[in-house]
Every structure is written in C-alpha cells, then in structure tokens.
Amino acid sequence: MIATNTLTDRQLDGQLTDAQWQIADAIARQMVLDGADINELRKAMAYLRETVNREDAGKKFFDYLKTLVRHGNTIGHSKRTVEYYRSLDVICSQYLTDYQDDAPRMLFLLGWAARLVKYYKDGSPTGELTVPEIKSERETELKAVAEENAFEIGQVLDAKITSIKGNKVTYEILDTIRLTQKEPKLLKTYTLAEGQVVKIEISTLKDDGSIKKLRAFL
C-alpha cells in the first residue's frame, strides 16, 4: 500500500505538540525533495547530541552547519556532499531557529524527522510529495491571542518590561505578545526596571488586527 502525503497515524508518544509534529514532518519532506543525504543528517545529530547540554548548544549547532557548508569541498566524500550540507543548513535554519534555545527539543525534532525521511522515501512517490506551509508555535500563539482580543487604537493595557538594552525596551502584553521599541525619552525621564509593569496605549495596529506600535506612560 502506497503511503499518502498525510500521515494518519502520527506515532507520537505525547512529547510533540501539533506544531512541533508539523515541523518534523516538513523537515523530512523537504529533505526528500532536496535529495539530501540522511547520513549527513545523522552526523549533524551526533554532533548536537554530544553538545546538547552545553551553553548555547542550539546556536553552536547552526554555526556547525555553516562550517560544514564552508568546508564541504574539503571534508566531503563526493562533489555532492557540500550540496547536502547546504540543504541541511537551509532546512534547519528555516524550521528550527525558534528552538535554538532548547537544544534537547531540537534534537528530538530532528530524530523524528530522520525517521520520517525513511517513511517518505520508502512509501511516497516523490512526485506526490509536497511541503505544507506551516507556522511556528510562536506565530500560532500570537494569532490565537489576536483573535481572542479585539485590539483598538487608543486601548490601554498593562505591559511588563522584560528587557532593557540601550535605548530599547521590550514589553510583554497579555503574557504573550512581545514588542520592542526605542524609548530614549522614557528612559531619560524615568527609572525603569525589568519586571516592572507599566501602562501602554495602542497607537498602531497591523492589517491583521495585531499590535504594531504602542505608547508607554507612567
């Protein structure tokens, strides 16, 4: 029986969210379509497995992939090896950037992707294989908040300051939405601190109704 493009049996053990499952699935599909070498993926996973508990492991993993691309012609086993490295770098950057601060989860997603590569290679004709357009968990979460809250220009909300870097202040609204703005005048006039809750007024909305800009006042 030929497998279809959509897996009905997700074979999950409860450790992947729906969004994460879609990411692992999309990585596998893209690798098959690119003709990427599963062995190179396994080697990259071996590197991540060895470094997973180190500081900035996720960021260093992306640096490692870019190093492979730069030196692929030297360390590769064939002329196509650098193509495999480049494909792997592009795919991981596209789907795993949001997880670079969670290396164990990144490794888990790649593990499922590796399993699915074999699934699609063995059971699904490449011509019938497509990569679905997916959104990150963050994008899905923000969309849900925007749909639940009908924001209006002039609306006043509480916001927590989560970061102050130079003249930039990051505000967190409704425990989900984070916006960073330059606030030189505010920082000059007031003493602000991370964790502080302030009042903000929505000044501009995006076309989809989400908050684009705000005005903070104390």
In the beta sheet, which residues pair with residue 173? 159, 177
pLDDT digits (tens, 9 = 90+) for 25-65: 999 999 988 888 888 899 999 999 999 999 999 999 999 99
pLDDT band at 112 (very low <50, low <70, confident <90, very high): very high
User: Mean pLDDT across the chain, nearest whole number?
Assistant: 83
Q: Is the sign of the CA dihedral 49, 51, 54, 55 positive or negative?
A: negative
Residue 131: is its pLDDT beyond 90? no
pLDDT over 70 percentage in the chain? 81
pLDDT band at 4 (very low <50, low <70, confident <90, very high): very low
More confident residue, 116 or 124: 116
User: Residue 138's pLDDT is what?
Assistant: 63
- In angstroms, the CA 123 to CA 144 distance is 35
Q: Which helix (H) or strand (E) holds 41?
A: helix 38-51
Helix, strand, or coil (residue 204): strand
CA distances from 90 to 3, 80, 84 (A): 27, 16, 10
Q: Which residue has the tokens 């492979």?
A: 68
Tell me the CATH number of domain 147-217, given options 1.20.1560.10, 2.40.50.140, 3.40.47.10, 1.20.120.1200: 2.40.50.140
- In angstroms, the CA 35 to CA 29 distance is 10
pTM for this predicted structure: 0.58
- In angstroms, the CA 172 to CA 155 distance is 15
pLDDT band at 209 (very low <50, low <70, confident <90, very high): confident
